[in-house]
Amino acid sequence: GGSGPLSGRKAIVTSGPTHEPIDPVRYIANRSSGKQGHAIAAALARLGADVTLISGPVTIADPAGVRVVRIERAEEMRDAVLSALPADVAVMVAAVADWRVASTAGNKIKKRPGEAPPSLRLAENPDILKTVGHHASRPRLVIGFAAETENVSENGRAKLEKKGADYILANDVSPETGIMGGDRNRVKLIGRDGTEDWPEMGKDDVAEKLAALIEKKLSAQ
């Protein structure tokens, strides 16, 4: 933590994809770059917060002034988040894999002539945002993202309820938007008291705007 309006406040941010192993050399992943989550961690640190960033495998640099915990799998991310509690605010930005491979192979799965392709049996991963949103040590502010390709507002609002979040930043990640992996974002801020449409802006600007909101909410009584 540094000096600034969020000095003395603890923040947890998740970012990036998770990798779910199939065997020692293969995994299931998604297109998350970590850009938005890392930018939010950096913006909170600039306001003086003590930030723990729990990140899946990404190629971008660690943000300045932030404690970075690197994990691969969703279950590892969940464990790292729970270890980082208590906190004043949690912002779950990671694109956590919904499913993991039910039983990972100890050795590389071999292709054998004449054998049918293997089938992967999947198991549901823990929902980290939902766990934190309903936790006994729930942070005062719990914020999530909702990457959707249709019915963005409706799905975002449903997520707010289901996950016990205070805010959901919903965005349309249809391929034509270029948001996933890109440098710009267009979000709707969905809260208990209504929805705000933010114009398209850089992911750094979304991060600044969200950090300012967090500061305002945490300083209210």
What minimum distance in Å lies between the beta carbon of 167 and ligand C5P?
Answer: 10
User: In the complex, what is the shortest distance from the CB of residue 8 to ligand C5P, in angstroms, rounded to a whole number?
Assistant: 25
Does the annotation count 185 as an active-site position? no
Tokens of 89: 């605010």
DSSP 110-172: PP-TTPPPP---EEEPP-HHHHHHT-TT--SEEEEEEEESS-HHHHHHHHHHHHT-SEEEEEE
Question: Binding ligand C5P by CB under 6 A: which of 6, 12, 41, 74?
Answer: 74
33, 36, 55, 125: which one binds ligand C5P (CB under 6 A): 125
Q: Does 33 bind ligand C5P (CB under 6 A)?
A: no
Quick check: 92 binds ligand C5P (CB under 6 A)?
yes
Return the residue of 19, 157, 159, 188 that touches ligand C5P, per CB under 6 A. 159
The total number of residues written for the chain in this structure: 221
Phi, psi angle pair for 126, to nearest 5°: -65, 145
**Contact, 50 vs 107, CB < 8 A?**
no
Binding-site positions for CTP: 98, 108, 126-129, 145, 159, 163
Residues assigned a catalytic role:
30
